Structure 1
Amino acid sequence: MEIIMIILAGILVAAAVYLILSRSLLRVIIGTSVLTHAVNLLLLSMGGLKTGAIPIYGETVKRYVDPIPQALILTAIVISFAITAFFLVLAFRSYKELGTDNLAEMRGVPDDEQ
């Protein structure tokens, strides 16, 4: 099962890189969001997909699940949500000011130099 998760994370990273390298600002924002989801999936699979009890010290618990990868992923989800919201507001504001979401036009590169 872990191999399937790692392959899925690789596919998500490839799709995210494709989206980040495009000219549209909205695609770049979606690409960064997909990349954060891929990293979260990779962190979860690196922590190990195992079953067990909650990590409370007791005499009856023999196996427990490590809570550190889940805590890291929860923190990463909150941070990626905040950054995505900031990127969306920044993209909306730049679209209102410049009238385009094309990154080449935002830089001021003429069409013949692309």
Structure 2
Amino acid sequence: MTFALAVTVGALFALGTFLLLRDDLVKVIWGVTLISQAANVYLITLGGVTEGTSNSVPILADHHEPFPVTTDPVVQALVLTAIVISFGMTAFALVLSYRAYQENETMDVTEWDQ
């Protein structure tokens, strides 16, 4: 499972970097979005999700047994906040790209007037 997550994070970073280097503004925005999502997957991977562990809430655990192993809730809250912020920034960047298209009549950044 760890290898699959590492490959997924690597592929997301690679595809995001590839899109970031394109001339089309929408592809650049998608590249930034993919890189931010790759960072979120990376943080969740580091948060302690492992196979074979119980992820139940410690309050509901049996009082005679030790508490089960749980994931770190701080990492989950951080990633949830990052997802919301990246969604807002993506929407804002798409609106800015539409405005740039209205001004320059093209989405190719190499054809814009200096």
Shift in alpha-carbon separation, 1:76–1:34, aligned structure 2, 3 A: same
In structure 2, C-alpha distance between the alignment counterparts of 1:88 and 1:79, rounded to whole Å: 14
Regions of 4+ moved over 3 Å = 55-61
Taking structure 2 as the reference length, what is the TM-score of the superposition? 0.85
Q: What's the Cα RMSD here?
A: 1.8
Unaligned runs of 5+ in 2: none
Structure 2 counterpart of 1:5, which letter?
L
CA contact (8 A) 2:58 2:67 kept: no
Aligned to 1:112: none
Q: Show structure 1 runs of 5+ residues with no match.
A: 109-114
Equivalence map 1:1-114=2 (5 Å): 1-50=1-50, 51-56=54-59, 59=63, 62-63=67-68, 64-106=70-112, 108=114
| 8 Å Cα contact 1:19-1:27 kept in structure 2 | yes
Cα distance in 1, alignment partners of residues 43 and 113 from structure 2: 36
- Give CA deviations for 1:11-47 in whole Å, capped at 9, x if unaligned: 1100000000000000001111111111111011111
Question: Residues 55 and 34 from structure 1, CA distance in 2 versus in 1: closer, same or farther, beyond 3 angstroms?
Answer: farther
Q: TM-score, normalised by structure 1?
A: 0.85
Aligned residues: 108
